Structure 1
Amino acid sequence: MGIISTVATAVLAAEHTYIMVLEMFLWTTPRGRKAFRLTPEFAEQTKSLAANQGLYNGFLAAGLAWSLAHPESEVARQLQLFFTGCVFVAGLYGGATAHKKILFIQGLPGALSLAAVALGL
């Protein structure tokens, strides 16, 4: 694994850990509501949905971390390709169906990480 792909994957894992915390534990707090531009009422109504979505972001973070920790380099690379690809696709879908900023917050980092891994950087 190259240094750029390793750093990019680690940053992506950290980002998804943060998103998981926001969605699972901070959704109804001022910080969570500000991050997702929510009213207190809407945040309260949707907190169980957000927690579920947060869990999936946690799975992405765990997979990305696993790809960094795997002792066999080719398996680690395959894991990185899969999980960075998942993040990229999730960013595209979120940008198309929810809010355009998701393209930049999730899709772009996913695409850059995926490219770095694919190119062996």
Structure 2
Amino acid sequence: MAVVALVCAVLAAVLHIYIFVLESVRWTDERTRRTFGTTAEEAEATREMAFNQGFYNLFLAVVTLVGVGLWTVSDAVGAALVYAGAGSMLAAGLVLLISSPSKAKAAITQLFFPLLAVVTVTIALLV
């Protein structure tokens, strides 16, 4: 079960690295604007906010990946970091789902792998 948990955590991290690229690097590109449903003017006006938000996603991914790496040394330390990173990703996805039901698809995409990671890490620690 630990392998499944770590794969889910890595998938959550990879998705959030992709979100980082969209928000911090490609925010004003046409394809990214279509993905987020923003106009060129809205993207330009929110560029600094998106840049910051993208780094937030990157840092959560890094914490999660460090947890995956440290799992081999200490499953308790690794699990704590995976819980911190993936748990925050999950919480952010839930906030998006609750606050903006029209963005349910994006929220579910954002929280799916972190949810699997949190659940499978818990199971792996219990067995």
Give yes or no for TM over 0.5. Answer: yes
For residue 95 of structure 1, give the secondary structure of its aligned residue in structure 2.
helix
Q: Residues 18-53 of structure 1: CA distance to partner in whole angstroms, max 9, x if unpaired?
A: 000100010000221122111111111111110011
5+ residue gaps, structure 2: none
Which residue is 2:117 aligned to?
A: 113
Would you say the 8 A contact 1:33–1:40 is kept in 2? yes
Q: Any idea what the Cα deviations from partners look like across 1:47-87, whole Å, max 9, x if unmatched?
A: 11100110100111110111011132221012112222111
Counterpart of 2:99, as a letter, is T
CA RMSD of aligned residues (A): 1.6
How far apart are the structure 2 equivalents of 1:62 and 1:113?
Answer: 15
**Amino acid across the alignment from 1:67:** G
| Residue 5 of structure 1: aligned partner | 5
**Distance in 2 separating the partners of 1:17 and 1:107:** 14
Describe how 1:68-83 pairs up with structure 2 within 5 A: 68-70=68-70, 71-83=73-85
Structure 1 vs Structure 2: percent identity of aligned residues?
A: 32
User: Deviating runs (4+, > 3 A) in structure 1?
Assistant: none
Distance 2:27 2:107 in 1: 21
The whole-number CA distance in structure 2 between the counterparts of 1:16 and 1:23 is: 10
In structure 2, the partner of 1:47 is 47
TM-score (norm 2): 0.87
CA distance in 2, matches of 1:20, 1:46: 15
